[in-house]
Structure 1
Amino acid sequence: MFPGWLQIALVVLLIVLLFGRGKISGLMGDVAQGITSFRKGLKEGMEAPEDEAPKAVENKKTIDGEVVKTAEQEKDKTDA
């Protein structure tokens, strides 16, 4: 059911012959850099500084941090 060590060695040998050691080691280096940057991003995301905390906005609708006028606000201004 599971491949034996001989089949695994044959597949590894074919991969090395097709792509060469240089390309494989370069690819593994790129994968390692990607994992490192992913972990760094996770760590930075968890350390949210207090000054960057979202501010409470009362009775306003926002899209991407920008205050947007709503139909209710426009109606209130014309009634007043």
Structure 2
Amino acid sequence: MFMGGISIWQLLIVFAIIVLLFGTKKLRNIGGDLGSAVKGFKKAIGDDKAADKEVDKEPEQLDQKQQSAEQSTDQSTKTKEKDQA
């Protein structure tokens, strides 16, 4: 009546064999390395998303800078016209 699945006992036996072959210290190091690799991957994904958001914001920032430059130019022109009059 075996359904083709892996039972908990089979998993425990495989785990015990792995511990005997590699030892707990080496497995701990492998786990730490794997954890730091996953953290690095997540950080890279987050940095990528932040960079994409910045790229999307750049045209808006340029528009704002152009508008503020135009406003300051308009103000300086008005000031010069008042001085001349």
Q: Which structure features the higher share of helix residues? A: 2
TM range (shorter): 0.5 to 0.7
Query: Do structure 1's residue 12 and structure 2's residue 8 form an aligned pair?
Result: no
Q: Specify the code of the residue in structure 2 equivalent to 1:22.
A: K
| 1:33 equivalent in structure 2 | 36
Give unmatched runs, 5+ long, in structure 2: 59-85
Q: Which structure features the higher share of strand residues? A: 1
Return the alpha-carbon distance in structure 2 between the equivalents of residues 43 and 26 of structure 1. Answer: 26
| 2:50 equivalent in structure 1 | 47
Q: Quick one: percent identity of the two aligned structures?
A: 27
Give unmatched runs, 5+ long, in structure 1: 54-80
Deviation at 1:47, TM superposition (A): 1.1
CA RMSD of aligned residues (A): 1.4
Deviation at 1:43, TM superposition (A): 0.7
Q: Specify the code of the residue in structure 1 equivalent to 2:31.
A: M
Return the alpha-carbon distance in structure 2 between the equivalents of residues 8 and 38 of structure 1. Answer: 29
Q: Specify the code of the residue in structure 2 equivalent to 1:13.
A: A
Runs of 4+ displaced beyond 3 Å: none
Give the TM-score normalised by structure 1: 0.59
Return the alpha-carbon distance in structure 2 between the equivalents of residues 41 and 5 of structure 1. Answer: 36
Over alpha carbons, which structure has the higher Rg? 2
How many residues are matched?
A: 51
